[in-house]
Amino acid sequence: MPSIGGSGCVRHAILVLASAITASQLPVPGALAANPAHVFFRVQAASSLDRPVSGRLLVFLKQGEGDTAIDITEFHPQDTWVAALEIHDLAPGAAVDLDADETAYPQAFSQLARGDYEAQAVLDVDHTYNYSGRSPQDWMSAVVPLRNWNPADGAEPGLTLDEHPQEDPGRAAELAQARASAAPGTAQLEEFESPLLSRFWGRPVKMRAWVILPPGYDAQGAATYPTAYWTHGFGGGIESALILGMRIRQRMAAAKMPPMIWVMLDESLPEGTHEFADSVNNGPWGTALTTEFIPYLEAHYRMDANSPGRLLNGHSSGGWATLQLQVNYPQIFGGTWSTSPDPSDFHDFTGPDLYDPHANLYRKPDGTLRPIFRDHEKVIATMEQLARLEAVLGPYGGQMTSFDWVFSPKGKDGAPMPLFDRQTGAVDPQVAAYWREHYDLAHICEANWAQRGAALKGKIHVLVGTADTFYLDGAAHHFDAVLAGLHADAHFTYLPGRTHFDLYKVGDDSLGLFDQIGAEMYAVARPGVAWKR
C-alpha cells in the first residue's frame, strides 16, 4: 500500500484508489439502445515528434470545462472515466483510433449521456502510470472541450500528443532542496550491484539506498552508530527516500531524534514493490539484502554491525517489508517498528479471509461489495473497482498485481499466478495456499516459533490507526492475537481515529511519530545511554 512522507508518489496512490467509484456518480442516459455503437477517440502523434512512440495510451474524460489537465482526482472523483490501448511505434503525424468501449473504466464510454465534457490523452511510455502516475518523459495532449457531446452520434473527438507532463513544482522544489542538502558527510547514494539478483535476472541488478549520516559523523573516527533500515510503501522510490531521509536528518540535528545512521532503501520495481522478500518472480531480495548489501554497507560506514544495532522501520508496504525481514531474519535485526503494514495475517486480507473455501475479494458472503478504501466511516472505493481500474491503467505496476509478483507461484506461462479472478473476484485456493506457506507472517511465526521464538521475542512493534484507510488494522489484530498466544512480547499500538496518511502526526508535526520510534530504537541499541543534549 502507499508510502508516507509527503511525496508526490503518495498523492498518486491516493488518486488511483480514490478514483474507483460507482458509475452511478456520472450521468447515464435513462434509455440507451441495447447495443450502442462504440465510442472512438482519434489520437495523433504530433508531426513535430522526432521519433515513433510506444506505450499505454490513456484517454481521460470528465464533465466540466476550463481544466488544464484531466486526471484521477483526490477524494472527489465525480466523473473521471478512463480508456486504454497499447500502441507500438506510432510515427510522427500518424494517428490511431482508440476504442473507448473496449478497455474502459468504470464503463464503456457509450454509456455516457449527452453533456459538456473535457478529454485528454496521455501516452504512458514506460508503463509506470499504475505505480507513480504521469512522468516527464510521457506524452500528452492538451485538454479538449467536448461541448454538448453525444457519444451516440458517432462523432470522433481528436487529441494530439504534443507535450510532456510537467513535474509538480512543489515536489520538484522539495527534491531539489533535498539533493542540495545531500552533501558528503551528510548523505550518500549507494548503488550496489548484487551478484545474487544479477544471476537471477541474467543482467546487472543494483540495490539502491540513500545512507543518511547523523550530525557529527566522522568517517575516520572511532564512534559507531546504530543503523535504521527504512523502506517506502507502494508508490515510493529512491527520490522520496532521499526527501524523507533529509527530513529525518533535520530532526536529528534538532535533537528530536537520536544520532543514528538511516539507510533509506528503495524497494520499487517495474512490477510494483519487491518488499525485500525472496520471490520466485522478483528474485531473492531478502537474501541479497542480508548477505550482500548490509555487509557491504557495514564495511563502508561506521555502523554497529550487530543485531541490536540493526533496526527496521517502514510504512504500509514498507511496513510489511520490515515486518517480514524481522520475522525471517530474527538473528540479524534487533527489532522492527512497522507502521500500518500490509496484511500480516491473510485471514484478513483488507477484509476477506483468503482461506475461506468460497473466498472472494469482490463480494462478501451476503453478496455486498467489499470496500478497500475509506475516509473514516465513508467508503470511497471497493476492491472490485480498484482491480478493474488497475486493469485499464495497465497489467503491470498496480497494487494488486504487485502482490502477485511478490507472493504468487509462477504459472505455466512463466508469469505470476493471480490470487484472484479479475472478472469475478474468486480467490484461487491453490495460490492462496502458496501465499500462506511463504508469506503469511502469522502462520510463519506459528509454524516456526520453536526455531525462531527466542530470537524474535520482544522485537516486533506494530503501529496502526483504528481508521486505517485500507482497513489494515484488521490484519494487525489477527497477528496481535497469534503473537499473544505465542507469548512473543510483541508491541501493538492502535492509534484512535488515525488513518493511513496521518499516522505519524503528533500535534502539528506530520512526522512526529519518528521521534518516538527513533528513541525506542536507540534504547534497544544503547540501553541506558542518554542521547539528548
Percent of the chain past pLDDT 90, that is, above it, reads: 86
pTM of the model: 0.92
Mean pLDDT of 434-459: 98
- Rounded to whole angstroms, how far apart are CA atoms 463 and 313? 11
Task: Decide if pLDDT at 272 tops 90.
Answer: yes
Q: Please tell me the predicted confidence (pLDDT) of residue 532.
A: 81
316: left (phi over 0), alpha (psi -120 to 50) or beta: left
- Rounded to whole angstroms, how far apart are CA atoms 132 and 237? 9
Q: Please tell me the predicted confidence (pLDDT) of residue 27.
A: 42
CA atoms within a 13 Å half-sphere pointing along the CA-CB vector of 43? 32
CA atoms within a 13 Å half-sphere pointing along the CA-CB vector of 477? 13
Mean pLDDT of 6-32: 37
Q: Please tell me the predicted confidence (pLDDT) of residue 396.
A: 85
Task: Decide if pLDDT at 140 tops 60.
Answer: yes
CATH architecture of the domain with residue range 8-166: Sandwich (2.60)
Give the range among 66-80, 167-181, 274-288 with minimum mean pLDDT: 66-80
**What confidence category does residue 10 fall into, taking pLDDT thresholds of 50, 70 and 90?**
very low
3-class state of residue 244 by DSSP: helix
What's the mean pLDDT when you consider all of the chain?
Answer: 92
Domain locations in the chain?
8-166, 187-345+442-525, 371-435
- Rounded to whole angstroms, how far apart are CA atoms 375 and 500? 10
Q: Please tell me the predicted confidence (pLDDT) of residue 3.
A: 61
Mean pLDDT of 339-363: 97
- Rounded to whole angstroms, how far apart are CA atoms 205 and 199? 9
Which position has the higher pLDDT, 399 or 74?
A: 399
- Whose CA is closest to 177, among 241, 132, 242? 242
Structure-block grid coordinates of residue 346: 491473510
- Whose CA is closest to 438, among 280, 261, 326? 280
Give the range among 72-81, 246-255, 295-304 with minimum mean pLDDT: 72-81
What are residue 121's DSSP bridge partners?
59
Return the beta strands (E) in 72-164 as ranges: 81-90, 95-99, 104-105, 115-124, 139-140, 144-149, 158-161
- Rounded to whole angstroms, how far apart are CA atoms 464 and 243? 23
Task: Decide if pLDDT at 195 tops 90.
Answer: yes
- Rounded to whole angstroms, how far apart are CA atoms 91 and 31? 40
Burial 46-84 (b: 16+ CB within 10 A, else e): eeebeeebebbbbbbbbbeeeeeebbbbeeebebbbbbb
Task: Decide if pLDDT at 74 tops 80.
Answer: no
Give the range among 127-131, 165-169, 229-233, 308-312 with minimum mean pLDDT: 165-169
Mean pLDDT of 62-69: 92
Is 187-345+442-525 in CATH node 3.40.50.1820?
A: yes
